[in-house]
């Protein structure tokens, strides 16, 4: 099934079930008011939501609304409008290698067995059409296109197998990054506080069974189409060149602590070795330009710039709907 959240009445929104082609949706109802509540009572509530999804698919129209219209009108929040934990890995070492190469360095051997991961803020996620609001574009505003897993309770010390079984939903994230603030924070070693902004999720999150054959070995084998102002930035495949699977990243996060239901784990910026796939962030384009052409030419995002992130299956159907938003001045 595919789940979304309408904005309001509270900060956690109102849970909705969406049909497979993202045209129609229905509120789950008072027994499942928010996605967080469902994640905490998954075994009890997920089957009821699945019934709801099946009825919707079969054409039941009672209380259903036009999902695309609600999306266009800005009524759709992130599927999980706020999360208690957001841990973002760095599964695609091609991305890391390009960054290091531009600095004249190499990827440390340990990165291939011990994943990079930072903890970020997710107390107020952006909806898929909400603007990226910044005080200044001097920060070096960039997108980062990733796949994210939303998990149930994961016990401390969980194996990747246990972690895989705890994945409840998968969706896309734009992990907005402020590139010019990151080097100083990396040097301090304490991770990113100022270097990362609020993140956006795709319109819907999907259960693993919705992903069919595109999901295997804990990876989603589909390209992530990224555009800036309508121009293709890239379409790297999330199943290609991923050193770590999502279950491995979840197990890393759970090494010394329980992860509470509703924790989100990201893959890190998707990146493929094949340069023809392009990029899921501007920085990589810039670093490649710097190495190959002597200077970065692709600019970071300016006010008014529009970013889209979307994944389509083999039949060309949007799996999660598109993140589609513009950069705005915070006021």
Q: Which residues would be at the binding site for a copy of itself (CB under 8 A)?
A: 10-11, 40, 82-85, 87, 90, 110, 114, 116-124, 133-135, 139, 156-157, 178, 181, 184, 186-198, 252-253, 255-260, 262-263, 330
Select 36 or 227, whichever has its Cβ closest to a copy of itself: 36
Select 236 or 262, whichever has its Cβ closest to a copy of itself: 262
For residue 263, the tally of other CB atoms under 10 A from its CB is 25
Select 113 or 293, whichever has its Cβ closest to a copy of itself: 113
Q: Cβ 191 to a copy of itself, closest distance in Å?
A: 2
Q: What Å distances lie between residue 222 and 30, 52, 94, 186, 212, CA to CA?
A: 35, 27, 17, 31, 11
Asked if residue 307 lies in contact with residue 230, where contact means CB atoms within 8 angstroms, the answer is: no
Select 101 or 133, whichever has its Cβ closest to a copy of itself: 133
Tokens of 298: 């692709």
Q: Cβ 112 to a copy of itself, closest distance in Å?
A: 13
Tokens of 210: 């919705």
Select 176 or 311, whichever has its Cβ closest to a copy of itself: 176
DSSP code of residue 273: S
Q: Cβ 175 to a copy of itself, closest distance in Å?
A: 13
Select 72 or 124, whichever has its Cβ closest to a copy of itself: 124
DSSP code of residue 194: S
For residue 62, the tally of other CB atoms under 10 A from its CB is 7
Task: Specify the 3-state DSSP secondary structure of 157.
Answer: coil
Q: What is the DSSP string of 276-329?
A: GGB-SSHHHHHHHHHHHHSS--S----TT-EEEEEEB-TTS-BSS--EEEEEEE
Q: Cβ 281 to a copy of itself, closest distance in Å?
A: 16
Q: Cβ 70 to a copy of itself, closest distance in Å?
A: 24
Rounded Cα distance between 261 and 258, Å, is: 9
Q: Cβ 124 to a copy of itself, closest distance in Å?
A: 5
Select 114 or 161, whichever has its Cβ closest to a copy of itself: 114
Q: Cβ 276 to a copy of itself, closest distance in Å?
A: 29
Asked if residue 76 lies in contact with residue 128, where contact means CB atoms within 8 angstroms, the answer is: yes
Give the pairing of strands 224-228 and 205-206: unpaired
């Amino acid at each position: 099934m595919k789940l979304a959240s309408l904005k309001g009445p509270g900060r956690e929104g109102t849970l909705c079930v969406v049909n497979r082609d993202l045209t129609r949706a229905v509120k789950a109802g008072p027994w499942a008011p928010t996605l967080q509540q469902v994640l905490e009572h998954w075994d009890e509530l997920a089957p009821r939501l699945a019934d709801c999804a099946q009825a919707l698919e079969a054409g039941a129209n009672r209380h259903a609304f036009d999902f695309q219209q609600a999306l266009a009108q800005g009524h759709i929040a992130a599927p999980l409008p706020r999360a208690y934990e957001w841990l973002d890995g760095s599964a695609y070492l091609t991305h890391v290698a390009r960054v290091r190469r531009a600095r004249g360095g190499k990827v440390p051997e340990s990165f291939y067995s011990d994943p990079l991961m930072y903890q970020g803020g997710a107390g107020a996620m952006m909806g898929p059409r909400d603007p990226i609001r910044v005080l200044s574009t001097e920060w070096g505003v960039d997108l980062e296109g990733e796949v994210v897993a939303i998990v149930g309770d994961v016990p401390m010390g969980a194996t990747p197998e246990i972690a895989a079984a705890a994945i409840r939903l998968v969706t896309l994230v734009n992990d907005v990054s402020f590139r010019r603030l990151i080097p100083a924070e990396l040097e301090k070693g304490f991770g990113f506080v100022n270097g990362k902004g609020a993140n956006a999720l795709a319109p819907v999150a999907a259960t693993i069974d919705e992903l069919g054959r595109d999901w295997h070995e804990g990876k989603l084998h589909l390209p992530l189409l990224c555009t800036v102002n309508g121009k293709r930035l890239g379409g790297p495949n999330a199943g290609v060149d991923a050193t770590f699977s999502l279950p491995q990243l979840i197990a890393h996060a759970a090494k010394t602590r329980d992860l509470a239901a509703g924790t989100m784990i990201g893959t890190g910026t998707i990146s493929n070795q094949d340069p023809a796939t392009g990029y899921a962030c501007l920085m990589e384009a810039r670093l490649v330009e710097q190495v190959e052409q002597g200077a970065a030419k692709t600019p970071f995002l300016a006010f008014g710039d529009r970013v889209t992130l979307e994944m389509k299956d083999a039949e060309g159907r949007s799996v999660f709907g598109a993140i589609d938003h513009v950069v705005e001045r915070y006021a």
